[in-house]
Amino acid sequence: MIAIIGVLVGLLLPAVQQAREAARRASCGNNLKQIGLAFHSYHDVNKRFPKGIHCAGTGASNTWNAPDNLRGWAWGAYILPYCEELTLFDDLLVEKTCLHLNKLDEAQTRLDVYRCPSDAAEVLNPIRKITGAGNPGATSNYVGNAGNDLSPNGGGRSCLYDMTAAAEAAQLEFHTGMLIPGVGVSARQVTDGLSKTILVGERDSANTNHGDHGAALWVGISHKSIMANDEPYWNVMMYFNEGRPEHTINAGNPTTEFSWWRWSPTHSWSSKHPGGAQFVLADGSVRLITEAIGNDTFADLCNRRDGDVLAGF
């Protein structure tokens, strides 16, 4: 009898595990759906999607709570009011101050809407820091699509200073994605179609199958920590270089990563869902895209305006 029970348990356990993963994947998809709806609510009010991150720079004032010093906030902070987190948005003083360590406790708040249930990551991200050298922020499993590799503005930096109208136009011209440094993209600028352009996708944390990708942050990065180089931008956005073939889903071991201004497996799209990762497209629809997707097709999905005819995915 005991042997029979053991056999039955052995037969049932994989089915139970599959059912649990299916439930977790559905919950992750619901998170992405809510994020997509929040983006569209933000767009309804502001006539554009939020910036990927408000850029670094000295601006007219370095006082952290000066009305002209709004830097450091990422898209995850901007859409908080539309994710039923208006109180946290107000407590952080988003769009009223810069991201500052005075608000570290709030910036370390765990938000389930930014967590994939399949990834048992730590509450505070041990890899991605708010200030670059230290002070971890709350972990997020979702990163924005910035499109092609970093802009050469400012000697390799995406946006070192507060942006003029001309600089914003240059950013929009250079960056092909949806969530880019310094400027928001409007729906009318997505000429390839909202249903054919990635908005936000998954990045997991430690994974024995395809390496430690470090997940992400939802709040942003202290504006002073972005001054040295662009590496912290990876904390909230995903870049790639269309000239390289490595911008895949669930990429290999991050010990093979390239220089910080290039695509790296550490920063790749990834998840703990078998075979791929989930994405919300710019129209708000959610898709699981398999890791077997062709590089050209995936590059087209990350580009809002290349004019290519998109193959099935």
How confident is the model at residue 278, as a pLDDT?
96
How confident is the model at residue 161, as a pLDDT?
57
How confident is the model at residue 46, as a pLDDT?
97
Q: What's the Cα-to-Cα distance from 143 to each of 26, 268, 278, rounded to whole Å? A: 18, 10, 11
Which helix (H) or strand (E) segment holds residue 137: the answer is strand 136-140
How confident is the model at residue 153, as a pLDDT?
46
Does 308 reside within a domain? no
Query: Which sign, positive or negative, has the C-alpha torsion 219, 224, 225, 226?
Result: positive
Does 70 reside within a domain? yes
How confident is the model at residue 156, as a pLDDT?
39
How confident is the model at residue 123, as a pLDDT?
94
* Cβ burial, residue 104 (10 Å; 0-12/13-18/19+): middle
How confident is the model at residue 110, as a pLDDT?
97
How confident is the model at residue 255, as a pLDDT?
41
Does 307 reside within a domain? no
Amino acid at 62: N
* Cβ burial, residue 259 (10 Å; 0-12/13-18/19+): exposed
Does 234 reside within a domain? yes
Q: Are 146 and 238 in contact (CB under 8 A)?
A: yes
How confident is the model at residue 229, as a pLDDT?
52
Whole-prediction pTM: 0.87
How confident is the model at residue 78, as a pLDDT?
98
**Owning domain of residue 74:** 2-301
Structure tokens at 245: 């073939």
Tally the domains of the chain. Answer: 1
CA-nearest of 206, 198, 143 to 176 is 198
Distance between CA atoms of residues 135 and 102, nearest Å: 12
Residues recorded for the chain? 313
Amino acid at 194: L
Mean pLDDT, consecutive 10-residue stretches, the chain (313 aa), reads 57 56 89 98 98 70 66 94 97 89 92 95 89 85 84 47 76 88 94 96 79 87 61 79 65 45 63 93 96 85 90 77
Distance between CA atoms of residues 59 and 65, nearest Å: 13
